[in-house]
Structure 1
């Protein structure tokens, strides 16, 4: 069975990517909150035995069920355009790098590097705010829920530089994007050859690729969270290298994998839902074009 042609132009990929990212973010939001708290050094310190269940119980009992969707607004503000850019950049990148004698592997690798770099550069400020919304409390111990308040606090304390926190770790994390997209293409090709093309098969390939990529590249997530978690000159984690060294000294190698389980529970279905939604919307758009 031949693979259907993807519609040309920017709009189909922008629209489908944005919707896909939004749907996946809403469904997996609770695990995103729990994962961020487990990664942080401010919630449980350096204790490594708190676990997913305890973190979930503490969040709900102290703050209510709304705590599981804390930061969702700013997450959607970042994820919807981010995923629109993600899919569009990757698709256009493949077209760009197809010129010449490059192998399919090289085309996919170059396109994924471009995709990761573009996304990290423009979306980092939004995710700094989201991380601090999920972790910080005000002077009375109440959760800091306001996007505006968190943004102003960051600017007042650190200036524009504060919005670049964790960007170094995010650039290191481009390796995860590269692994995930390259493996997705390889897994998808193998599955399509056996079972034929389709949204579900694409989603299965995406889930498998993301599982491997996240496990390999996970430490950058912990370091990125810690670089973003607090503002001001007195913060403990100041640079990528220093954060890696301090985390390893205090917690060992396990510290670099804090929150991995909820992260896998979140990103694997998130990736599958996102690619499934993306493919379904593209099919609908293709039908409308006939």
Structure 2
């Protein structure tokens, strides 16, 4: 006869009490108050292995990006309009007009142009991002000054913000060449200069050197650090507050709602940096002449001078349409997969 032995931890009055739950332990868990029981379940669900955690993060990111690929492409096309378009062309631009142009000139499948490289980038990026966040958070929680005040909300926010920022920088640096290739493939319209992922990598290396694969990395790190930091902080804070007020609500819907709100917050705060990053990535693409001959801040000044403040937020509307479902789906899928993988590992 097979005997199962599972150990959970229940926090009571600042101390810890071991809760042994085998076949008869279910009744003990069920006798706990609902908030403590739900907390115990979530703690057990979060205890998955490294491979499972990387898998959950990667699949979550790839699924979210695939679902929102058409809006992501529209965002990129709007962001780069100021590089080679005149003022009259930019005034006529609208989401519906651009979407109609893509469908008419390039076909419906063109909305997912570059999505293969997006998935190739997002799988490792999202895996590293979520995994690194959990590790940085665990390390920060052991820092003496933070460890002694873990129940303090400001301390939790600090841990989420710093951990999220470091995770974003780590993931972005590790996968940046694929992000640059994704941008260039998505920005192509009728003339195909790059025929695929490997061709783009080879062509960029040949024409622009190995450092051409890292164009715009500075703007990316300046943007992605705060973006991921804000995203994780808003998500964790809202989720924690929501669970304390409504512990019986669905975890799936909770993750979807909090993830969507966190996406809006992070996109609004860091969109100008993302726009500059896209334009820097496209410098020299397809043999075109360079538009911005200065550094990051010089590019900011150039865009602001020629296009105004509105130019720094060009494409923000499709960005909102994208991040509300996209970030929500990502967090929802990640949390759901963590629960499923935890259940699977518990039965093995």
TM range (shorter): over 0.9
Write the deviation string for residues 240-287 of structure 1: whole angstroms up to 9, x where unpaired. 112111111110000000000101111121110011111111111121
- Using the TM superposition, name which of 199-208 and 40-49 deviates more: 40-49
1:95 maps to which of 130, 138, 142:
138
Q: Could you tell me which residue of structure 2 aligns to residue 62 of structure 1?
A: 105
Is the Cα contact below 8 Å between 1:44 and 1:50 reproduced in 2?
no
Q: Equivalent residue of 1:234, what SS?
A: coil
1:166 maps to which of 216, 228, 232:
216
Shift of 1:48: 4.0
Distance in 2, Cα, partners of 1:125 & 1:53: 31
Cα 1:226/1:284, change in 2 over 3 Å = same
Cα 1:45/1:10, change in 2 over 3 Å = farther
Distance in 2, Cα, partners of 1:43 & 1:59: 18
Q: Could you tell me which residue of structure 2 aligns to residue 16 of structure 1?
A: 56
Q: Could you tell me which residue of structure 2 aligns to residue 118 of structure 1?
A: 170
Cα 1:227/1:131, change in 2 over 3 Å = same
Cα 1:225/1:45, change in 2 over 3 Å = farther
Structure 1 residue 36 corresponds to structure 2 residue 76: yes
Q: Could you tell me which residue of structure 1 aligns to residue 120 of structure 2?
A: 77
Distance in 2, Cα, partners of 1:288 & 1:137: 45
**Structure 1: gaps spanning 5 or more residues:** none
Shift of 1:49: 4.0
Deviant stretches of 4+, over 6 Å: none
Is the Cα contact below 8 Å between 1:94 and 1:107 reproduced in 2?
yes
Q: Equivalent residue of 1:237, what SS?
A: coil
Write the deviation string for residues 11-52 of structure 1: whole angstroms up to 9, x where unpaired. 221010011111111111111111100000356445144011
Q: After superposition, where does 1:167-186 map in structure 2 within 5 Å?
A: 167-173=217-223, 174-186=225-237
Structure 1 residue 220 corresponds to structure 2 residue 276: no
Write the deviation string for residues 55-96 of structure 1: whole angstroms up to 9, x where unpaired. 111111111112101100110000011101111011111111
**Structure 2: gaps spanning 5 or more residues:** 1-34, 147-154
The alignment's TM-score, normalised by the length of structure 1, stands at 0.94
Distance in 2, Cα, partners of 1:29 & 1:218: 18
Q: Equivalent residue of 1:230, what SS?
A: coil
Higher relative contact order (CA 8 A, sep 6+): 1
Q: Equivalent residue of 2:209, what SS?
A: helix
Q: Could you tell me which residue of structure 2 aligns to residue 235 of structure 1?
A: 290
The alignment's TM-score, normalised by the length of structure 2, stands at 0.79
Q: Equivalent residue of 2:145, what SS?
A: coil
Is the Cα contact below 8 Å between 2:164 and 2:229 reproduced in 1?
yes
Is the Cα contact below 8 Å between 2:303 and 2:311 reproduced in 1?
yes
- Using the TM superposition, name which of 5-14 and 39-48 deviates more: 39-48
Cα 1:187/1:45, change in 2 over 3 Å = farther
| Pairs aligned (count) | 288
Is the Cα contact below 8 Å between 2:75 and 2:315 reproduced in 1?
yes
Q: Could you tell me which residue of structure 2 aligns to residue 202 of structure 1?
A: 255
Q: Could you tell me which residue of structure 1 aligns to residue 333 of structure 2?
A: 277
Distance in 1, Cα, partners of 2:174 & 2:311: 29
Q: Indicate the RMSD between aligned Cα atoms, in angstroms.
A: 1.8
Structure 1 residue 257 corresponds to structure 2 residue 313: yes
Shift of 1:137: 6.1
Structure in which a larger fraction of residues adopt strand = 2
Q: Could you tell me which residue of structure 2 aligns to residue 193 of structure 1?
A: 244
Distance in 2, Cα, partners of 1:61 & 1:45: 23
Q: Equivalent residue of 1:235, what SS?
A: coil
